[in-house]
Every structure is written in structure tokens, then in C-alpha cells.
Amino acid sequence: HWVDLRSPEYNGKPFTTTFIYGYYDANMIFIEPMITRDYLLKKRKFEQELMLPKTFTQRGYYPQKYSIHFDKARRMHIVTLKHLKDMQ
């Protein structure tokens, strides 16, 4: 796994949100936002630019940002991968 060292838990603050990059055999095979339950219960809006590799072994559309918000009308949390860019 690789993580963004800008995340709160690496800067003297408690873990609230982070973005995980999963690797196998030196190839990125998944990306995953991680959010604590406590953070979700606060129903805060959040958006962050993602750190992505310069090159990819698998061509595809990769998000440049992700966001979290609570939709009051639907009473649900929405986690969105945003600004997809064709990368290879």
C-alpha cells in the first residue's frame, strides 16, 4: 500500500480521512478512500486533490479529486471520485 503523506494521521492529527493506493508486483491495482465513522457522523463537506503516479501500467480513467458530503434529502453520505482523466 501507498498513502498520501499529506493525510492528517501523518501530520500530528487523528485519522479522519485518507486515500489508499494498493499495489501488487509494483503495479497499482486499486484506489480506495478511507473515512472514519466518526468523521461521517459529523456530516462535513470535504474535497481533496489526489496524488497520482506519473505513469500507469493499466490505461484507464483515474480520478484527480475525491469528495464526501451528506445528502440531507436522501439521508446518505456521498463519496465521489471526481475529474476522471484518461491516463496511461
Q: Which residue has the cell 479529486?
A: 65
Residues 47-88: pLDDT tens digits? 999 988 877 888 899 999 999 999 999 999 999 999 999 987
Q: How far apart are CA 52 and CA 58, in angstroms?
A: 13
Model pLDDT, residue 28 = 87
Give the DSSP per-residue string, 12-71. Answer: TS---EEEEEEEETTEEEEEEEEE-HHHHHTT--EEEEPP--SS-SS-EEE-SEEEEEEE
Residue 2 pLDDT: 86
**What is the model's pLDDT at position 43?**
96
- Tell me the pLDDT tens digit for each residue of 6-63: 888 999 999 999 999 998 998 888 999 999 999 999 999 999 999 888 778 888 999 9
